[in-house]
Structure 1
Amino acid sequence: MDWAVFIVTAGSFVASFVNAAFATGGVYILLFTSSSVLPLSAAVPLQSAFAAASLLARVALFWEHIDWRIVRLFFLGCLLGVGIGTWTFAALPERAIALLLGLVLLLLIWVPQLPSLPVKHPFVFVGIIHSYLGSLFGVGGVLQPLLLRTDLLKMQLTGTLAAAMLSLDLLKAIGYSSFGFNYADYLPHIIGATIAGFAGTWAGKCVTHHVSETLFRRVFRILVSAVALRFIYVGLLGD
């Protein structure tokens, strides 16, 4: 058995379950599990492929709740952010990416909520910033807290976030491929993550009303902090 495929598949199931049940959070789980068995130079580009099934399932299940205006504005910003982010990713050494990723994760999980942007169409600028960080580190972390501050209900939040992330991941996959990353080299990992993504999303939607969100957020913050410290260690001292 290829343990890397098994761990990626298991991580994808847990990540998609968390995303369906709580609208967000699974991306950190998926990044941690995949980067623990794959080099960061592969794990970051593969986040788009690993998350595709979960995102597609959530878009289908929550289609009628999606706020397409937000998705369109976010996508426009991503067109610029992805281009710059994938170029930066290709230019930086892996240890530098690991160190910066750890610092960004700590910032996103512990710094108070971001302020609202005083502009007419804030989600265009959110798209630029989020997609740049997402292309460089595998996680953006800007869109989620800002969406939580809108008047979207839980179902609308889950569907809108999934549609926005799916559009971003399509652009990221094109960007990484243009710099020579070959997704076909990791086809077994992608297939496992795809099957697990659909299964985890279905399971998460079934229990979305029966899980303590307070406990989840507390445990989630601790886990992400541990992941961040691991990346900082790798960036400073190596594996």
Structure 2
Amino acid sequence: ALFVLFLCWGPALPRASFGNTGIFLASGLTSFISLFVGATGPLVAAFIKQIHRDRLTTVATFATAMTLQHAPKALVFTVAGFVFPDWLPFILAMIASGFAGTWLGLHVLRSLSNRWFHQAFNLILTALAARLLWQAGQSAGWW
């Protein structure tokens, strides 16, 4: 959560971070973390938002990264014995919801300027980071 806040409001990462090696390392690290922690989306989003200035490219890159990061889990769940047909109605409902959300999101995204999008994106990532900090505090018994 603190790293997400740093990526949103701190100085820009050095340009070398966005070369092939930097992107490979960030991808590998967040993919590994996603095996144990379910909140890698904000981390990946905060990294990707520094790479692109165009809102459509930012969202497309983030969507691709999330697909590549989560798709292998379907294979792992299959090998682990998850019975997909039993959950088919829910899977289809998720696909339909994803389609509707994508359609609506594209319409909203096209109506925004890049500047407004990035400000809103930072605020959303900040809210997600604050939620992660709150959950960590609760798990640690701080409140």
- Which category of TM-score, normalised to the shorter sequence, fits these structures? 0.5 to 0.7
8 Å CA contact retained: 1:147, 1:157: yes
Q: Structure 2: any 5+ residue segments left out of the alignment?
A: none
Q: In percent, how many aligned pairs have the same letter?
A: 18
- Are residue 207 (structure 1) and residue 108 (structure 2) matched? yes
Q: Deviations over 1:78-101 (max 9, x none)?
A: xxxxxxxxxxxxxxxxxxxxxxxx
Distance 1:181 1:231, change over 3 A: farther
Aligned to 2:68: 167
- 1:111 aligned onto 2:11: no
RMSD: 3.2
1:46 paired residue number: none
Aligned to 1:124: 24
| Alpha-carbon distance between aligned partners in 1 of 2:48 and 2:128, rounded to the nearest angstrom | 22
What do the CA deviations read for 1:181-200 (whole angstroms, capped 9, x no partner)? 62535444322221111001
Is 1:198 matched with 2:93? Answer: no
Match of 1:218 in 2: 123
2:39 alignment counterpart: 139
Alignment of 1:44-193 (within 5 A): 106-112=1-7, 115-116=13-14, 117=17, 121-140=21-40, 141-151=42-52, 153-178=54-79, 180=80, 182=82, 184=84, 186-193=87-94
Alpha-carbon distance change, 192 to 174 in structure 1, aligned in 2, over 3 angstroms: same
TM-score (norm 1): 0.44
Q: Runs in 1 of length 4+ with deviation above 6 angstroms? A: none
TM-score, length-scaled by structure 2: 0.66
Pick closer, same or farther for the CA change 1:182–1:200 going to 2, 3 Å. Answer: same
